[in-house]
Amino acid sequence: MTHDIATLIVAAGRGTRAGEGQPKQWRLLAGRPVLAHTLAALRAAGLTRLVLVIHPDDAAQAEALAEEGVLIVQGGATRRASVRAALEALCNDPPRKVLIHDGARPLVSADVIHAVLNALERGPAAAPALPVVDALWQGAEGRVQRPAARDGLYRAQTPQGFDYAAILAAHRAYAGNAADDVEIARAAGMEVAITKGCDDNIKLTYAADFARAARVLAERQARQMDIRLGNGYDVHRFMPGDGCWLCGVLVPHDRALEGHSDADVGMHALTDAIYGALAEGDIGRHFPPSDPQWKGAASHIFLRHAVALAAKRGYRIGNCDVTLVCERPKIGPHAGAMQAALAEIMGLEAGRISVKATTSERLGFTGREEGIAAYATACLIAQEGATP
């Protein structure tokens, strides 16, 4: 995220409904303060310009928790006063957009955040919410008085996003208190888009909410522990030619590699490693050599398919490692270019891809320079919603 986006974390309240003890934002959740989880969730979504709004009594705890780059602002007696104080603190270096998030919502996901940011590209304000699905009643003295219509009703969540200049002006012009910043934006005539919220994005209010949040964190941790490893191996013999395709780079040589496609042995091994981690067989299952349309095909077609299949199943590639086994051509001078080529094809950082080479000490078919072999390993890490 750029400097143009600031995120306010509102954490100046006392949280009396959560029972006795520390204010809820400072209580431990899975061994860490609630605010530590909140800050980590925002950073995981790519937000870097963070403003933590606190009660004056919590200054020491905030200083100990906040990492470099977090601006600490003392809040006011109400939520609205706290938000106003943080907005004013940004005046000397104003962002283009601002997100306003409850410090007691530590389970917000990157998907919820990015949906708000995407909506802000098309309008001045956006906020996540969930439609009300339960029946509603109006009641008094412990008895139902009458049913209430639920059509068009939503449960509001945060972060709520705004054009910075517009929401600052709205706060300055607003009189009285407000339940949230959408109420202030609407009073100023701003159109607010509703984006998709998430059931896990709960606001810790009562003591029982902590147990639910702990269960959600445990489930997420279990999903993150779904790490898959796959191995790939491929061999291609030499044939007459003037170069070999290896890991996406045409390496000059006095021979070429023979194969149904472009015979990129390194890319084939890596593709099979990804398929293997997904328990999806090998290249031959997805691109049968008996099918003439793959004759001479560029191997990046196969690798991109494997990467896309992993993403579709809910996995990201943690890292991969390719070893080319040959006497010649020399791989070292081209390893950097191969790493860059694979990074572009796979949409990964180059630092997550290793390409290296070894010889077989003149032993076997590679030692006799009859062909090239390649070994590859790929690590896949499950993301939220991954399918086994």
By DSSP bridging, strand 192-196 and strand 125-131 are: parallel
Residue with tokens 């705004």: 162
Q: Are strands 371-382 and 227-240 parallel, antiparallel or unpaired?
A: antiparallel
Write b or e for each residue in 265-303: b if 16 or more Cβ atoms lie within 10 A of its Cβ, otherwise e: bbbbbbbbbbbbbbebebbeeebeeeeeebeeebbbebb
List the chain residues with pLDDT less than 70: 1-2, 15, 18-19, 68, 224, 384-388
Beta-sheet pairing, 70-74 with 49-54: parallel
CA–CA dist 168, 20 (Å, integer) = 35
Q: pTM (2 decimals)?
A: 0.63
pLDDT of residue 123: 96
pLDDT of residue 127: 98
To which H or E segment does residue 257 belong? strand 255-257
Beta strands 125-131; 315-325: pairing state: unpaired
Note the pLDDT tens digit of each residue in 270-280. Answer: 999 999 999 99
What is d(CA 371, CA 72) in angstroms, rounded to the nearest whole number? 62
Residue 117 DSSP SS3: helix
The per-residue pLDDT for 224 is 67
Q: Where are the alpha helices (DSSP H) in the chain?
A: 34-44, 59-65, 79-89, 110-120, 164-173, 181-187, 207-224, 265-277, 283-286, 300-312, 335-346, 364-367
Mention every residue, 6+ apart, whose C-beta is less than 8 A from residue 163.
96, 97, 98, 120, 124, 125
- The per-residue pLDDT for 383 is 75
Q: Phi-psi region for residue 314, left (φ > 0), alpha (ψ -120 to 50) or beta?
A: left
Q: Which domains does the chain have, with CATH numbers?
A: 5-224 (3.90.550.10), 227-382 (3.30.1330.50)
Question: What's the maximum distance between 2 C-alpha atoms anywhere in the chain?
Answer: 91
The CA distance from 10 to 329, in Å, is: 60
What's the pLDDT at 121?
A: 95
